[in-house]
Chain A
């Protein structure tokens, strides 16, 4: 049973004295990370542990004719060399489809390729040895005979009849197509004063988590139990899937996360080489460690955002946007990723284009096609950067066409702040957004008029600065509508258990997970506030399927909104239970008592009555002194799942101020602003830092990051010298502001914030570059905006 959100007996948690909600407090437990005493899976060692290295295909598409591991097996330190065929006996293949994505099809994928490899980097054999170096040595001695096949590497021609079909059983290379038609798009365009079109191209890129993917799989044959140490964002999902494919019961699998060196969605998926590692442990009956090296990471961590999107916008001279239309094409890998599917990103693009604006006329086609390149799937802000860049790029083009200021056109078309609840043209329901309030705040923060004046003055001296604005909406707190409805065993609810310890401390176990965003802190802040306990007394445990409630984990910006609300509810129950016992001990009534500063106090004057530590002593060790009949319960568990809205939408707006050196094509980022509305803010600093980190990932996409494949399907820049990630020297300072529109779906009122920065940053930068280049009449709608791209657009080369 759950408490109703508006419990009249107690104040809202947001009103409690000494509440941590809304306070910037340092995250607990940072000292060990600061001292280099964290424990990441890549640090782990277990007795008899050995290491696996995967021999990977050098070809994008080839038949495996023969594998000869004889010489390799004889090398010192080698425990085993295992092929896909041999591993098949231990682990079953999977198919990355969900039933609610109608028509999505994909072929079965094995943990290690059998008969055929479909991307350069796909594993063809596993070499297990006493250390990584020895395994790499042995891998060089495994002889694989390949028969090269034609590789499908250009998404634009994958559906042509003469292009080979990667999986003949599927019929063609089309994984998924979605069409959406709302309103009256053709009439709207016909009636528009102007119609503007553009082709938007996005560089494929990847997460580059500083700690690569790492797994230690430990099959204990005596216990018939598999412990998986893995920095996953969704441990219960991994538990479920590992059990399913290894023929185990759920309770035979335990997943432990440890510290995670960055994830951003990269580590929320099921990877073939990780599944192979679990299977190898079962097969070899000892712990196996797999740590992807940097080159492997580039070749096998999911890629994202490889899209080519045609966009159209209709506009009236008075600034009214009449319609949006897109035709989006995305080239994934040869398999749809498991279990979240590689159709979600394109689906999101369709869902989100035009989202902030009033026009109801919207038509979209999105096609997802297979390629012989690395697999692609959800990465921070899934689909949002594409949708935002296309939408905001079109809006700026429309403004340019009719000679209107980009702020003015947005003022005229953003959904009014009092128009809610309402729905987007793609049918998504908005509870309450604040586009106009956010825009107003942004303009004030950045001194928009001042920057325009500065821009005009500098232009006279041939210095070209630009301002780019990007409004966005963001999906957070997803319900089962995202995955569950399609049959995925991915939980959309989360739970928290809290108990009062024997010495008055509070122990929490939560099903959300921590990768550095502050899940532990938000839980402790909420529990401390609700219970009236100081944070230094609160211990949070997470990331262990044996020791936490069942839940979805942290992804799609759901930790605070869903996990936080579960923490709030559990703490409220514990508080009530404590006061019931206190009332019995003190011969008072619960209504006259409260908890503050680690003590039970009088509600009216705050006089301390009994310390929690003392109450705990009595309950645990001297229950003989309690009044008759009392059965104290100092532990409570509550779960929370969003029921009213399938997604809790947030909104925001970003601005970029930059300078384009028109002589060299180099872009200098001068400053960046974000105003974001994520509802109730639990820890302002943590939210702002999520936004900053997210923005910089978007800036990387805008200027630097691209996985460069040649026409043979070879990834040619799989290292950190050639794949350019943003470093400190080129990044601007980022100012963050907020508007607060709490969701009524929970008492906490918190929506998600983790991905907002990434959603709009590239759009703001692209718009700013085009704004800077206005005098030259050039428009660029391709990212990354490298100097070569800009010089070419300017006609200098």
Chain B
């Protein structure tokens, strides 16, 4: 039971087959085995949010999930999310508002922000801050990020109507 375990999963729409040690967490699996380094590691105890990815359409902390637990699951990283175009407007808003500086928290922030916007089309600033309250950013002080999410929500509502 200590030997590498075969897993089969879907990552960014592609089937992946691998043999992994039980202790390998999903963040390290993505970064080191699949070379998808957009998922960042900041604390390895679930507190900073840098490793946030989607598993089966829900955001989770990749450092707190074992790769073996994702057998049969569908994983979406920031690379896949970007390529799908789902957050193109959010990314543009981040760029225009300079809601990123060093960029290290950004993949996790985008994941968390889009998670909010999928559930609530009209979040106020307090709600935006609350939903992002598990994602640490040291560079921006958060305001630009809140602005970018707010702008995106507004533009999406306008496009709908």
Q: In the complex, A touching B, CB below 8 Å?
A: yes
Q: Residue-by-residue, is B24-42 near A (CB-CB < 8 Å gives 1, otherwise 0)?
A: 0000000110011111111
Evaluate whether A734 and B143 lie within 8 angstroms (CB atoms) in the complex, with A34-B100, A37-B79 already known.
Answer: yes
Among the interface residues B103, B135, B136, which one has the most CB atoms of the partner chain A within 10 A?
B103
Q: CB distance A34 to B95 under 8 Å?
A: yes
Minimal beta-carbon separation of B39 from chain A (angstroms): 7
Q: CA–CA, A726 to B107, complex, Å?
A: 19
Candidates B31, B38, B98, B110; contact of A686 at CB < 8 Å: B98
Task: Kindly state the separation between the CA atoms of A131 and B33 in the bound complex, as whole angstroms.
Answer: 12
Shortest distance between the CB of B44 and any CB in chain A (Å): 6
B3 within 8 A of A: no
- Chain A 662-682, CB within 8 Å of chain B: the 1/0 string? 000000000000000000000
B135-A728 in contact (CB<8A): yes
Instruction: Tally chain A residues at the interface, Cβ within 8 Å.
Output: 56
Instruction: Report chain A residues within 8 Å CB of B133.
Output: 727-729
Compute how far the CA of A685 lies from the CA of B96 in the bound complex, rounded to whole angstroms: 10
A38 at interface, CB cutoff 8 A:
yes
Given the known A-B contacts A693-B101, A727-B136, are A261 and B79 also in contact in the complex, defined by CB atoms under 8 Å? no
Q: How far is the CB of B90 from chain A (nearest CB, A)?
A: 9
Given contacts A209-B138, A728-B133, A729-B133, contact A36 B37 (CB under 8 A): yes
B156 within 8 A of A: no
Q: Are B134's CB and A727's CB within 8 A?
A: yes
A704 proximal to B (CB < 8 A):
no
Q: By CB atoms of chain B within 10 A, which of A34, A293, A725 has the most?
A: A34
Q: Is the CB of A40 within 8 A of B145?
A: no
A36 adjacent to B107 (CB under 8 Å): yes
Chain A nearest CB, measured from B42 CB (Å): 5
Least CB separation from B21: chain A residue: A133
Partner of A728, one of B35, B91, B94, B132: B132
Asked whether, in the complex, the Cβ of A33 is within 8 Å of the Cβ of B43, the reply is no
Total chain B interface residues with beta-carbon distance under 8 A: 56
Q: Is the CB of A211 within 8 A of B104?
A: yes
Are A262 and B143 closer than 8 Å at their CB atoms? no
Q: A30-B100, A696-B141 are in contact. Are A294 and B45 (CB under 8 A)?
A: yes
Q: Which residues 108-161 of B sit at the A interface, judged by CB distance below 8 A? A: 110, 125, 128-130, 132-146
A515 surroundings in chain B (CB, below 8 A): 101-102
Q: A35-B78, A36-B107 are in contact. Are A729 and B130 (CB under 8 A)?
A: yes
CB distance from A672 to the nearest CB of B (A): 9
**What is the bound-complex CA distance between A135 and B91, given in angstroms?**
38
A207 part of interface (Cβ distance < 8 Å):
yes
Closest residue of chain B to A209 (Cβ to Cβ) is B138
Q: How far is the CA of A515 from the CA of B130 in the complex (A)?
A: 27
A546 within 8 Å of B (CB atoms): no
Asked if B91 and A294 make an inter-chain contact with CB atoms under 8 angstroms apart, the answer reads no
Indicate if B48 sits at the interface (CB-CB under 8 A): yes
Whether B31 and A697, one on each chain, are in contact in the complex, defined by CB atoms closer than 8 angstroms, is no
- Residues on A with beta carbons closer than 8 Å to the beta carbon of B39: 36
In the assembled complex, the Cα of A31 lies from the Cα of B128 at a distance in Å of: 23
- For A698, the closest partner residue in chain B by CB is B141
Contact with B along A750-788 (1 / 0, CB 8 A): 000000010000000000000000000000000000000
Q: Are A262 and B95 in contact (CB under 8 A)?
A: no
Query: Which of B43, B83, B129, B130 lies at the interface centre, i.e. has the most chain A CB atoms within 10 A of its CB?
Result: B43
Identify which of residues 39-79 in chain B touch chain A, using a CB-to-CB cut-off of 8 Å: 39-45, 47-48, 50, 77-79
- List which A2-57 residues lie within 8 A (CB) of chain B: 26-27, 30-31, 33-40, 42-43, 45
6 contacts between A and B (CB under 8 A): A30-B94, A261-B40, A294-B44, A689-B144, A692-B144, A728-B137
Q: 5 additional contacts, CB 8 Å, given A294-B44, A689-B101, A721-B47?
A: A34-B82, A516-B101, A695-B141, A733-B125, A757-B141
